Structures are given as C-alpha cells and as structure tokens.
Structure 1
Amino acid sequence: MDKITKKINAGSENSSPPGFQVRNILFVSAPYHLPGLKVDIHPSAWEITHAVSMEEAAELLRKKTFDLLFIEIEALDDSTGITVQHLKSLCSGLQVIFLVQPGCCKIQPLEREAGHIFIWSGTPELFQAMVRFVEDQRCKDITRRAVLLVEDSLEYTSFLLPEIYKGIDAAFPGAGLVLAGSHETAMERFRELGQRLDCVLSDTRLPFQGKEAPEAGIDILSTIHREMPGLPIMLMSAESANKKMAQGISVPFLDKNGNQLDRDLHEFFHSLASDRPAQGSPPHAKDPYPVQISPAGFTRIGRGSIGGKARGLAFLAQTLDRRPDLGTAYPEMAVNIPEALVFCTDIFDDFIRDNGLAELTDRPLTELVQAFIDAPLPREVLRHLKTYLAANSVPLVVRSSSLLEDAVNHPCAGLHKTYMIPNNHADPDMRLSHLATAVKLVYASAYYKKAQAFVRSTTVHPFRDSMAVMIQEVAGSQYGDFFYPAISGTAHSLNFYPAANAKADEGVLNLALGLGRTLAQGEQSFRVFPEHPQATPQFSSTRDFLENTQNSFYALRMAGYPDTLRFGMCSNLERRDLAQAIEEAPVKTLTSTYLPVEDRIRDTWYCKGPKILTFAQVLKYGTPPLTALVNDLMKALAHDAGGPIELEFTADIPEKSGDPWNVSLVQVRPMFSPRDTSLITKKDLDEAVCVSTSALGNCTLDTIRDIVYVNPETFEGSKTSDMAQQISRINADLAKNNRRFLLAGPGRWGSSDPWLGIPVDWQQISGAGAIVEIRDGTIHADASKGSHFFNTITSQGVPYITVNPGAADRIDLEHLTGCRTVRDEGFIRHMRLKRPLLIKVDGKHSRSVIINAGKADNHIQAE
C-alpha cells in the first residue's frame, strides 16, 4: 500500500489536557482483541501492555508502574482468587476502567466500587475519551474550568462521553469533564465548581437519597439556573414528555431516544461555540480523513474504527508475524493476506449525517438503496478512491467491517453486503463510479431490516452499529471472461457435527469451487475433516456423489458487463454450471470422472464420462497439502485467540506448473463456543418429546410456551418461500409481546436454495428462542454447517438442534396436533402451551432434549 500513501499526506493531531497524563496502560482482555485495538488507536501517546488474564496482570503490575488499567468484564475469573482490589494494591494510584460489550452488561456491585464502567464496542473515539476522562479525574488544577454531566445510565454515559468531549473542544477549549450519577453528587459538584462551570447537562430521572426520583434533574437545573442564570444548561431524558418540563424552566431539551442524538448534541455545543470569539481554524480542517499504514500492514483512511472484520485481519497478521513457519512449512503453497484499504467508521457516520440517510430506515428497500446511491460521498473520500484506482486495475471486492461484526461475544456474519467489481473498464470515471457505488451499497446494507434487527437484539439504545469498509484485491485468476479462485474454503476449529472417526476439537473444512458466495449462502459444498481428509462420510455411494456434489459455482464477469454492472443481482457475480467451465484449469484439476459401466469414480478429468467435483487431487493426494496447512493455521489462530475460530481462505492454481499455489487468508473471526455444560439425565432422555445428538448451544430454557412449526401434513417442497413469509408474520406478532418461541421444521433453516429448506433470514425469525432442524427425508439436504445465517443464529445464543430420526434421535410433537392452535397459516402452525417446555442443550456433548413439562395438563390456549 506504500504506492497509495506516498501520494497522500498522513497526519494526526493529539491534544492533552493539563495536569495528570496517562502514559502506561495495562489492557486485560481476550488475546483476539489487542491487534485491532492497536490499529484503531494508532498512532497514540500511550504505551499499551496486554494481559490475557488477571493472573498475568498481577505479574505485570509487580514489575512495572501503570497509570490506567482496562479490564474487559469477560476477562474476570473468580476462580483465580485475584480481585481488582488486589491489582490496585500492587500499584499506587492505579485507575481502573471496566469495559462491557453492548448488550452484555454483567456488573457486580463490588466492581462498580473498584473503578469506572463503560460500554465499549471498540471505537477509538470512546477509548480516547475514557483515557481523557481519567486524566480529568486526576487533574489537580483548582482553576481549571469544567463541564458537568449528570447521568446514571451506563449506556448513555458511554455514548455521550466522546460526543461531549467533542463539544468541549469546540465550545470550551481546555475545560475538563466532571461526572455525577445522582442528585446529591450533582449538587456537591456544582457547589465545588461554582464559577468554574462552563455548562451543565443533566438527565431528568436520577437517584435521590437512594431512590429513583423522576424529576431530580429538573430540581438540579432549576437551582443552577436560579443561582447562575447565564450558565448554559440542558435537560436530557429518554421520556419525550419531559420536554414540557424543560420548557417550564426555559432550558433546551435533548431527547435521548432521538435517531440523531449525537447530531443534536453537536448542534447544542455548536450554538455555544458560535457565541465565542473565533479562535482560528477548527482542528482537522485540512485533512478530515488522514491516511496511515496500520501496524497490521494495511492502509486505513479516517480517524474512526476499522471495524470488526478488519480487526480480524489485524489479528491474522499478528499471528503470521509471530509464526513465520506457517508460511514456509509448505513450499508447495504461498500464504498471503490480500492488501486492504480501509475506510474507517467516521467516514460512514459523516456520510449518513451529511445526507440525512438515518431518517430513511423505514422506507421500502428499493427507495432506501436508491437514496444511498444518489447521495454523494465526501469529496476527500472520492479523492482517495481516485488515487487508489490509479495504482490498482485488478478485480476488487468491497466488504463490510461494522463495529459489531465478528465480535467475540456476537461473531455475526453475512448481515451486510459484499460487492465485487471487475475494475477494468476503459473509462477511469466509470471505474470510479463502480467503486463508489459499491461502497455506498455496503453502507446501505447497514440499514437493511435484517441488520437492524440484529443490532436491536444485540445492543441497547442508544448504541447503533457503524460501518467501516474494506477494499481488497479479489483472490483468483481469470479464465476467459470470468475471474475466480480454484477453491474457496471455510475452516472451523470446532466441529459441531463430527462423523466417522472425527472429533469435535479437530475442526471441519468446507470447500467449494469458485468464489465464496457458495459457502456464505449455505449452498452445496464439500465437507471434509482436516485430520481425515480422505474420509467422505456424507457420500456413502457413487450415487451420493452424483446427486449431492457441487455442480455450479460463482465467478466475476470481466468482459461484456453493462456499465451499471449488476449490483442488484448476486452482487455482480454470475452462477456458472460446471459444464460451462469444463475446459478451465480449476475444473480439470479438481474434478473426477464417473464411469457408468463400472459404476465407479476415477480421480482424473482425462477420461470420458460425467465430471464430479471431488477435490481428489488436494484431499486424497495432497497436491498441494492444503488441508494440512489449514489445519496448522486453525490451531495457531485458535491458540492465539484463546478460543475456537472460523477462517475463510482461497487457494488458486499457479499459471506455471511447478510454481506454488497461492493461498489467500481472507478473514478470521471467533466462533460461538459453549462454555458450561447443561446436564442431561437419563430421566430427561426418557421423558423427552425431542432428543438430538447433534445440538449446538449450551443452555437450559424453561420459559418458552409458543411453538411455531411446519405442518408435515400440508408441506410442499415448492412452497418454502411462502412458508418463510408465514413464519415472518407470526414472528412479528409474537415480537410485539416479547414472546420467544420454538421453531421446528425440515431442511436447512435459512437456506438460500428454497428446495433445501425454509429460506428465512434473521429478521423473519428474530423471536426464536430455539430452532429445530428435522432431517426426516421431507427435504434432502445436509445439516446446516457454516453458512452466514447459521453463524448469526448461534452467535445470538439461540440453540440449534438437529434431529436425525433414528435409533438415537427422535421428535414427537404429534400429541400437540389435536389441540387448539393460536394461528394456522396453512403451511405453518402456531401453538401455545399452558405451561412452558423445558429445553436443555449440552454443548460439550452436542446433545439436547425438549421435555413437555406440563404433560399432565398441558393444552393449547388461544389468547
């Protein structure tokens, strides 16, 4: 990327408040997080040391003095006996901040007393604001002016902190921030600060004398307004009715439920800044989106976060740097990470705000998408894109990298769009138009209903996802008019569906010819266990190979495409039949031939007969030993991440015989992993109406009374899309009353192929508390295993239960069919039990039972 950054001046500005300054930070977190954090805050004035446990943190504190200790809540472990108080005793004056991911707030009272708590999704703005806040608390300058924030909500305090610091810099340069969480504390701070106060912002509902007082904020601001009538003040509330109270005391009102909370706060401070004498140009006026080479080696533009997907690349790069042998142990292959250009989240935020796009959330999809296409990108961004395209004329992929994407707690995938462009048009302006359109369409996908539904289920207001974008070269080669890699693959270091001699912790690979859309959509691929690459338990006969192997693939068209491309159809990709590429090198290399006379398969392309995609050269003969390489990579990455991972990669055939295959590592993310075990007893097995030996998740649920299931008596394989719509309607009604339900039916849930299962998306089943996939022969499809839909479901903690009716597995909902239903949509029935089911999932042993807890008197009641 040097060729890009040499043409663009990078820069950064750092301002530090007077008094105490943080220099040495100890950061305790899962090891997966640190590389991305370093990229997000690079360059910084801080030296950050990482510890993966409280024990390691204690060892480091005995050897070195630190100013500030960050602890991710997930890193706390009571079993070690090392408390936060013990860590503070090892370093005098050590300040502590606890970090909690959005939607995962688990704070003990003792921890509240030991340090400050913030909810952090990884944004550098909040990280910098938290450090600055600690510096403000330690500042001893008794003449320093201040802004007082009165707020007791962790969510709003965390959201408001960086926005208020931006306002302070604009309206009250040099001032500090003081935080109060109750009526009493606010009045104490007001008395202490007196004439040094520049501004006060207060919530309405606050603790007072240990109890919640609905009008505490009104009392605070009324007193301040009476004693200091010229002081700027603002009332905030999540209850819009309180605006009348603000009008009653003649103060501005900030609606905390507003869609543009940050914009409204910015306008408040801007109005205060406009009353002050001009003090020169605002910071960053010349270069709002500076360009920098990150520590991970890719180029980032902007000051915001690189997002979750790019953090995964940073982690991947760190592992390869630490383990260079992974790239040299197999000379038959050359391992690389495709170069990336990352537009940080601040560019997305500016684009949305400047074009008023956040207000379009409820518009029809076509209208929403067109509004994003019509909206102009910032002028500086277009300049960066032109510079990039001047140095790159290869096919490009534009990928999302949102804040919540690939997080450890919620490793979601596939929520946002990915677009590929040929980038070879004769007109440079047309190439720029294609790339700019792809960026804006990725931005638009953050506002799709399924993405918004996921964010709502993962976070709490006021948090919302923000989007970074990665632009990378597409890995692959050109064959005629098409571009694609020989192999796209996903590797999971934990296998929830082991078979034959495979074990769960040995992992699993899914391989496909062509671009990775086949895998992302859960279409037909080739499943293999890396420790047993020659075993194919899913194919017990030659007939299985003929009927169930991949017979089509995705490729990017490089010639004969329209000037507007095909952004609305498969993200510019085309599905090609295997027969259309029969003479192309990947097909020749990876296919075998079926000999009808002998009813057997020969592992060669060079004989007459139907071709079958078996990957035999790679899997059976190890030319190259791709499975061995990926297996080593999985183990190294899982070790460094501190838990199971998912790796996406491509492998491409060299142009010249004897040259190494090109293996590109495209993405890595944490996998959902069950921790504790839910015990299933023999009595449970005996009483269960459903038993599964292939269950994903780990929980005991005893609150689900609603069952939504595919009626086997009316099922039609050609009507699965209609079934998806019926489920969506029932889901919407149940969501209004916050009722979780059990979803059950045949085939792959979330399949992009309606003949392989019910093609629902996350939004359509967002209220599902547990999902059952029934493999009873109604639909002939392998169990779900690694599609983006599947990963999203499991990342939400929704147990996914696969039932293979037979000796061990069983399901019997027939005793409920005679009861009165709440709703019958024809293909889908919704039933409600008087007493809830008991659902137990043992993630360690992949077992699950569903027990009819009210068997004696359980009956369906319509409400």
Structure 2
Amino acid sequence: MKNIKPDESSEDTDLSFKVFHDLMPKRVGKILLVSSPYDAFIMEEEGRLAERIIHEYRGLNLSRPPRITWVSSIEDALTILSKSKFDLIITMPVRDTADPYIFHRKIQKKFPQIQMILLVHDTGILSLAPEHRKTDSTCRLFVWNGNTDLLLSMIKSTEDQMNVYHDTKRAMVRVIILVEDSPEYRSSILPLLYREIVTQTQKIMDDSLNEEHRILRMRARPKILIAENFEEAETLFHKYKPYILSVFSDVRFFKNGNLDDHAGFRLCEMIKKEKPGLPLLMLSSDNSNRKKALEIANVFLNKNSPSLHMEIRTFLEQYLAFGDFIFRLPTGEEVARVSNLYQMEKAIPSIPDESVYFHAEKDHFSTWLMARSEIQLASKLQPVHTTDFSSTREIKQYLVACLRKKRKSRHRGVITDFSSDGFYPDLDFTKIGNGSLGGKGRGLAFLSSFLGSNRSLWKKFPSARITIPKTL
C-alpha cells in the first residue's frame, strides 16, 4: 500500500458534529403575506404552516417556526415594513385583473434587501406583464395549488439561498441545483426534492448520538438552489462547483435572453466536461428529448409522468446514494446492505472481495458517506484509488480503519443515548433513560467531555493514553 493512512491529520476532531452549531445562521422568522383575506386564511389556517414545519423538520427551526403577518393592500404592506423587520415577503394578486408584479415592484424599490416570492393561482395572469416576468430575476414565482408542502419548500428554498455561501465554506455542505423556468413545474418538483431530502436526513438522524446531535445534524442537509435561465445556472455551478452534489435540469429555457430549445443540453454538456462524475438528471415534458438527454445525463424523466415522485426517489437512491448502502457483485447481485457506519465497519471484512473492489473502483463509498453528511470522511476517501493498494484485502483494512477512527472520534466526549438497535460496546459514555445523572456518573461524564474537547492534553502527553472507563 502506498503510504496511505486512515487519517493524515494530527487533529482528528469531529468537525462534522461541532460545526453544526454554526450552520444555517439566518432563518426565516417573520413572513409578510400580502393577499386577499381568503388566500391568507388558506395559507395560514388550513395550511397550518407552523405545525407542518415542526412536524416535518423535527426541530430544524428550533423552537420558533415562522410567524405570518397578513395585510391586504400595498399601503398597509409599506407601512408595516417601515416599522418591523421581515425575512420574507409573499405577495399574491388581490384581483385577477391586476398586474401580478405591481406589489413586488413597489416593495422591492423601497426594501430591496428582503427576499420576495410571488404566488399565483393561475399562470394565465402572468400574460398581463410578460416582459416583467422575463427580465425580473429578483422575484421567484410559484403557483399555489393548495399543497402545503409548497409553502414549506418556499421557506426552505429561501433559507438555503440565505445560508448557502456560509454553510459551504464552513462545513462543505452539499448543493443541488434545480434549473427550471416553468413556475408550474417548479412548484411541483421543488416540494418533491425537499421531501426526499428531509426523509433521507431523518434516516441519518436515527444514527445520531443523542437528541442534540439529531437536531443539529438536520442543518447539514443538502441545499437546493434554483436557477431559471442558463446564466443563473452557470453562475451557481461555478460558484459552488466543489460542493455540487447533483444538477436537475430542464431542457428548454432562456439563454442570452432568448428561449432556447437546447439550453439544457448545452448546460449539462458544459457541466459534464468540467465535472465528469457529477450525477445529472434531465427533465422535460417533451419525450422526444429523451435520446439526446441520455447521451449527456445519467437519467431522463418526463415531467408529466404519474410516477415522477418515485422516479426522482430512484435517482436519489441509485446515483446520490440516498438510503442504505447495498453491497453488490459486479453482476448486480445483492450480497448485503447496511444503514450506518457501524454496520458498514462490521460488514466489510465478510463482504466478497470482488464486491468491495467493485464499489471502491466506482467511488461508491465516498458517495454514500457524502449523502449522509459525513463530508470529512467522504472527502478523504475521494482522492484514494484502488490502484493505491496492492490487494483488495488492503482496501478492506483501510476502509475499516477509516470508519472506526471516524466513529470513535465522533463519540469522544459525547454522552450517547442508549439504543438496543444500535449499541456500540466501545463507546466512552452511554446513558440509559432520560433522568439526571448521579454524582459519580456526572463526574465521569464531565471528564469524558473535558477529554474530548481539550485536544491540547493529547499533544502535551503524546506517549500517554488518557481516558475514562467504558461507562453505561
């Protein structure tokens, strides 16, 4: 084996846990809704927005879900905006004959720093101001169809836009780019993507150490960024290129100010050239685009397919490694599956050599770890190739050593909740139940936390091993 170690860093701190505290510093806490009384009732009361956020995201917004303030006129909106601070403004046309952008233009002129979303019932109203729709990139447009998941995804999309630069720099959080210029399809696809990402993240949370870890880990979910034309998509791709997890692209959208029937093909060709291994998904309502799309992208989906949700989920599982890791032989036969790091660590030695080599050669291990927000470990495995080892046995030993080192470093100094389904016998400190610790237990817990957070002791006494007894 070519001088490859499980961890070449002198400080094996678990940044993926500690950095969670710093993620998503900006939140959508106050929303101003400018609409008719009926629309306000539907969104805030029937939609039960606060309850849905708490239920769906399980603490992602901590204890303060967004609060909606409703006004019915532009005058009232401007008055309240001059007195109170809002994070997001959602405008809906009050009259079907009104210019749908009139509220947006007036508010944007006086409060350009506030994120704005235009929500309409029918895209036919947009024909009243076609030029504004084509040229205005500051107003994100969605179509309301009564689906409360759309409200949640609009808020999450806004928060992703607010936090993506900070979170990618701070913790290498992954990014998915959705290129879609149609408000109808965007309003349909975006909730599907968020639902699948939240489901995946909740599965990861089940492998967390304790309740705090579960809540904080939700913040590291992939961000979804929306682009409506070629230039926006190109800019996002180059800006977040090291962190891109995948690109979902329409085929027909604006390029250089003109509607281009092949803009999606050109975009994906450029992306494939600059980042060859990136999973690409192309979508179109025109099935004649399938052949050309499959020459460039991994998968093509028809946006009008009744099984679109399941097809997107299949893409996420097969190409982005969402869900369990399935060990397969090169023939495709399944030999085993694991759902967390500990299971993988224990399973690898008994997996057939040809299966491990197959997955290592295709970089499946780092892809799966990346999907589970184990970004540090995934980033270490990505540059390592099968040619760096003299045998598959060495590959297995290297993987097991990396997984064990990562798992132990993550547990160091943390009081872990006991679970009969996933008990790790080599943990430093495990707690059963929800009651308070006794005197001796509290002292051991303090020492465990102190040793885990003070790396200077390990440097000061490099030849000594300072630890506490395994405690349950």
Query: TM-score with structure 2 length normalisation?
Result: 0.51
* TM-fit CA distance, 1:37: 2.1
2:139 is equivalent to residue 115 of structure 1: yes
Select the structure with the greater relative contact order (CA < 8 A; seq sep ≥ 6): 2
Q: What residue in structure 2 maps to residue 431 of structure 1?
A: none
Q: What residue in structure 1 maps to residue 352 of structure 2?
A: none
For 1:177 and 1:35, locate their aligned partners in 2 and report how far apart those are by CA, in whole Å: 28
- The answer on whether the counterparts of 1:205 and 1:213 sit within 8 Å (CA) in structure 2 is yes
For 1:248 and 1:87, locate their aligned partners in 2 and report how far apart those are by CA, in whole Å: 45
2:225 is equivalent to residue 164 of structure 1: no
| Equivalent AA in structure 2 for residue 147 of structure 1 | I
* TM-fit CA distance, 1:35: 2.9
- The answer on whether the counterparts of 2:91 and 2:104 sit within 8 Å (CA) in structure 1 is no
Of 67, 76, 86, the match for 1:66: 86
Where is the strand percentage greater, Structure 1 or Structure 2?
A: 1
- The answer on whether the counterparts of 2:96 and 2:125 sit within 8 Å (CA) in structure 1 is no
User: What SS does structure 1 have at the residue aligned with 2:33?
Assistant: strand
Of 336, 339, 342, the match for 1:278: 339
* TM-fit CA distance, 1:98: 0.6
Q: What residue in structure 1 maps to residue 286 of structure 2?
A: 239
2:289 is equivalent to residue 228 of structure 1: no
- The answer on whether the counterparts of 1:54 and 1:76 sit within 8 Å (CA) in structure 2 is no
- The answer on whether the counterparts of 1:65 and 1:91 sit within 8 Å (CA) in structure 2 is no
For 1:110 and 1:214, locate their aligned partners in 2 and report how far apart those are by CA, in whole Å: 21
- For 1:424-435, what aligned pairs fall within 5 Å after superposition? none
- The answer on whether the counterparts of 1:17 and 1:135 sit within 8 Å (CA) in structure 2 is no
- The answer on whether the counterparts of 2:50 and 2:66 sit within 8 Å (CA) in structure 1 is no
- For 1:18-167, what aligned pairs fall within 5 Å after superposition? 18-39=24-45, 40=47, 41-43=49-51, 44=53, 45-74=65-94, 83-91=103-111, 93-102=113-122, 104-106=124-126, 108=129, 109-110=131-132, 112-139=136-163, 140-141=165-166, 142-143=168-169, 144-167=173-196
| Equivalent AA in structure 2 for residue 21 of structure 1 | R
- Counterparts in 2 of 1:214 and 1:174: CA distance versus 1, 3 Å: same
- The answer on whether the counterparts of 2:180 and 2:250 sit within 8 Å (CA) in structure 1 is yes
- The answer on whether the counterparts of 2:252 and 2:264 sit within 8 Å (CA) in structure 1 is yes
| Equivalent AA in structure 1 for residue 145 of structure 2 | S
| Equivalent AA in structure 2 for residue 195 of structure 1 | P
Gaps in structure 1 of 5+ consecutive residues: 1-15, 281-863
- Counterparts in 2 of 1:129 and 1:275: CA distance versus 1, 3 Å: same
- The answer on whether the counterparts of 1:118 and 1:154 sit within 8 Å (CA) in structure 2 is yes
For 2:40 and 2:196, locate their aligned partners in 1 and report how far apart those are by CA, in whole Å: 29
- The answer on whether the counterparts of 2:143 and 2:187 sit within 8 Å (CA) in structure 1 is yes
For 1:122 and 1:128, locate their aligned partners in 2 and report how far apart those are by CA, in whole Å: 12
2:314 is equivalent to residue 253 of structure 1: no
- The answer on whether the counterparts of 1:54 and 1:75 sit within 8 Å (CA) in structure 2 is no
For 1:159 and 1:151, locate their aligned partners in 2 and report how far apart those are by CA, in whole Å: 11
- The answer on whether the counterparts of 1:58 and 1:87 sit within 8 Å (CA) in structure 2 is yes
- Counterparts in 2 of 1:32 and 1:83: CA distance versus 1, 3 Å: closer
Q: What residue in structure 1 maps to residue 252 of structure 2?
A: 205
More displaced 10-residue stretch of structure 1: 221-230 or 190-199 = 221-230
- The answer on whether the counterparts of 1:17 and 1:174 sit within 8 Å (CA) in structure 2 is no
For 1:65 and 1:205, locate their aligned partners in 2 and report how far apart those are by CA, in whole Å: 38
For 2:111 and 2:31, locate their aligned partners in 1 and report how far apart those are by CA, in whole Å: 12
Deviations 1:386-433 (A, max 9, x none): xxxxxxxxxxxxxxxxxxxxxxxxxxxxxxxxxxxxxxxxxxxxxxxx
For 1:182 and 1:250, locate their aligned partners in 2 and report how far apart those are by CA, in whole Å: 18
- The answer on whether the counterparts of 2:180 and 2:186 sit within 8 Å (CA) in structure 1 is yes
- For 1:101-500, what aligned pairs fall within 5 Å after superposition? 101-102=121-122, 104-106=124-126, 108=129, 109-110=131-132, 112-139=136-163, 140-141=165-166, 142-143=168-169, 144-170=173-199, 174-249=221-296, 251-271=298-318, 272=320, 273-274=322-323, 278=339
| Equivalent AA in structure 2 for residue 266 of structure 1 | R
- The answer on whether the counterparts of 1:171 and 1:269 sit within 8 Å (CA) in structure 2 is no
User: What SS does structure 2 have at the residue aligned with 1:48?
Assistant: strand
User: What SS does structure 1 have at the residue aligned with 2:86?
Assistant: coil
- Counterparts in 2 of 1:162 and 1:279: CA distance versus 1, 3 Å: farther
- The answer on whether the counterparts of 1:29 and 1:75 sit within 8 Å (CA) in structure 2 is no
For 2:23 and 2:146, locate their aligned partners in 1 and report how far apart those are by CA, in whole Å: 23
* TM-fit CA distance, 1:114: 4.6
Where is the helix percentage greater, Structure 1 or Structure 2?
A: 2
Query: TM-score with structure 1 length normalisation?
Result: 0.29
Query: Which protein shows a greater Rg?
Result: 1
Deviations 1:216-237 (A, max 9, x none): 2122222322332221111111
Q: How many residues align?
A: 264
For 2:23 and 2:151, locate their aligned partners in 1 and report how far apart those are by CA, in whole Å: 16
- For 1:739-750, what aligned pairs fall within 5 Å after superposition? none
Deviations 1:115-173 (A, max 9, x none): 21111123210001001111111214142321011111111111111111123334575
User: What SS does structure 1 have at the residue aligned with 2:37?
Assistant: coil
Which aligned runs of 4 or more in structure 1 are off by greater than 6 angstroms?
Answer: 76-79
RMSD after superposition: 2.9
For 1:249 and 1:275, locate their aligned partners in 2 and report how far apart those are by CA, in whole Å: 27
- Counterparts in 2 of 1:58 and 1:265: CA distance versus 1, 3 Å: same
- Counterparts in 2 of 1:156 and 1:212: CA distance versus 1, 3 Å: same
Deviations 1:778-806 (A, max 9, x none): xxxxxxxxxxxxxxxxxxxxxxxxxxxxx
| Equivalent AA in structure 1 for residue 276 of structure 2 | P
- Counterparts in 2 of 1:17 and 1:239: CA distance versus 1, 3 Å: farther
| Equivalent AA in structure 1 for residue 290 of structure 2 | K
For 1:243 and 1:190, locate their aligned partners in 2 and report how far apart those are by CA, in whole Å: 23
For 1:76 and 1:17, locate their aligned partners in 2 and report how far apart those are by CA, in whole Å: 41
Identical positions, percent: 28
For 1:170 and 1:156, locate their aligned partners in 2 and report how far apart those are by CA, in whole Å: 21
| Equivalent AA in structure 2 for residue 36 of structure 1 | I
For 2:109 and 2:230, locate their aligned partners in 1 and report how far apart those are by CA, in whole Å: 31
- The answer on whether the counterparts of 1:146 and 1:196 sit within 8 Å (CA) in structure 2 is yes
- The answer on whether the counterparts of 1:187 and 1:220 sit within 8 Å (CA) in structure 2 is yes
